[in-house]
Amino acid sequence: MIGLEHYLLLSGIIFSIGIVGVITNRNVLKVLLSLELLLAASNLSFVAFSKFNGDYAGQLIVFFVILVAAVEVAIGLAIIVLMYRRLGTIQADELKELKW
């Protein structure tokens, strides 16, 4: 029988993979993709808790997280395209100046 702990364990594994990706990748696009993994892992634990506690609030929070993630991705990709046009690269190390 699949219990809450299995879902939480899966969520923890995905979150750890996402953390490794966010910190070790130099490509900004891959960092943004790993950030999506972090959000997906937390969404999974929210839905699992919602199911096992009998409360709809977890699913509603997931709904809002998806909306905010869509906004974040739109702005982040716009900044990546700008960065590529300005610097000619999308390596995070190349961002050394505060003002363009």
Partner 1 sequence: MNMPAFFFCIFAAILIFASLAVVFARNPLYNVLSLVLAIFCLSSLFMLLEAFFVGIILLLVYAGAVLVFFLFVVMLLNLNAPTFTTTEQSRFRLWGWLFGLAFLSETFLAIKSFLAAEVTQPSSIRGTIETIGQILFTDYLLPFELTSLLLLIAIFGIVSLAKGAMGTGAKAGENQ
Q: Which of positions 34-93 make contact with partner 1 (CB under 8 A)?
A: 34, 36-37, 40, 43-44, 47-48, 50-56, 59-60, 62-64, 66-71, 73-75, 77-82, 84-86, 88-93
Cβ within 8 Å of residue 39, ≥6 positions away = 65, 69
Least Å from the CB of residue 25 to partner 1:
7
Least Å from the CB of residue 48 to partner 1:
6
Cβ within 8 Å of residue 89, ≥6 positions away = 83
Least Å from the CB of residue 76 to partner 1:
10
Number of residues that bind partner 1 (CB under 8 A): 75
> Taking every pair of C-alpha atoms in the chain, what is the biggest distance, in angstroms?
56
Cβ within 8 Å of residue 91, ≥6 positions away = 26, 27, 28
- Can residue 29 be called a binding residue for partner 1 (CB under 8 A)? yes
Can you tell me whether residue 92 is helix, strand or coil? helix
Of 23, 97, 98, 99, the one binding partner 1 (CB under 8 A) is 23
